[in-house]
Amino acid sequence: MSETVLVTGGAGDIGRALARRFLAGGHRVVLFDRDGTALEGAARDIVGGDRLVCITADVTDSASIGEAVTRAEAAFGPIGVLVNNAGGVIAPTLASTDEAAWLADLDLNLNGAWRCVRAVQDGMMMRRRGIIINISSANATGIYGYPAYSSAKAGLEHFTRFLAVELGRHGIRANAIAPGSVRTQAWNERVAQDPEILERVKRWYPLGEVCEPEDVAGLAAFLVSPDARMITGAVIALDGGLTAGSTTMAREFCGAEF
């Protein structure tokens, strides 16, 4: 069954990959992003035809989200799938995190998802079906820097469980995807300063690789498919084994080669 899929953070690499994957699956796609210029670039980049609509909207502003959802539903009908993908980081350490940075990270990465759910949940409940996918992070589980972002993602995962439990009786499923490092343009500045950074990062992953945006999109597409009809309340690691453990650390603890 084709659905209207709403993806926040739609102008970024993961948002674009999600759009392409859902369009390939026959769905209608609405992209939200607060960066109108980047969103125009995404619209040109994605071959969506009349099944793609891009709307400038800010997940930190309830009125903006409400108006954008109204426009999306006027174009494509009720939202059947919500992918809360919008996110970002500010301060890498506790020492560098002031109150403004802490609150901004929470508002973008946690409260924004709540606002979007509030904007679409009544329609999903009325139709007695709907799918919510929250894009979390390995940072929700381990300490990899960015304390406010990490705390927000941990909250997002618990929020996912609340959605699954409270909305399940209305035919709504909610799950979270928790990627590790994803090779997006966000790495460009660091790579420009240190071309070997990603190769060193890969050493911490048991699979020896980092995620591509298409990996996130593939898992999201599965969670929307009929094969996932009994999956709800799950947080699925998409991290090449990062949160499972590290051979580097195990070698030090055990004094043995792995």
- Please give the average pLDDT of every successive group of 10 residues along the chain, which has 258 residues: 96 98 98 97 93 98 98 98 97 97 98 98 98 98 96 98 98 98 89 91 93 97 98 98 88 82
Can you give the pLDDT at residue 257? Answer: 80
Distance CA 178, CA 42 (A): 24
Q: Which domains does the chain have, with CATH numbers?
A: 4-189+210-244 (3.40.50.720)
Say if CB 33 and CB 112 are below 8 A apart. no
Q: 69-74: which pairs have CB atoms within 8 A and are 24 or more residues apart?
A: 69/6, 69/119, 69/120, 72/4, 72/6, 72/30, 73/4, 73/123
Q: Which residues have a catalytic role annotated?
A: 149, 153
What strands lie across the sheet with 28-33, from one edge to the other? Answer: 52-56, 28-33, 4-7, 81-84, 130-135, 172-179, 235-238
Whole-prediction pTM = 0.96
Confidence at residue 89, expressed as pLDDT on a 0 to 100 scale? 95
Q: Long-range CB contacts (< 8 A, 24+ apart) of 95-101?
A: 97/147, 97/148, 101/148
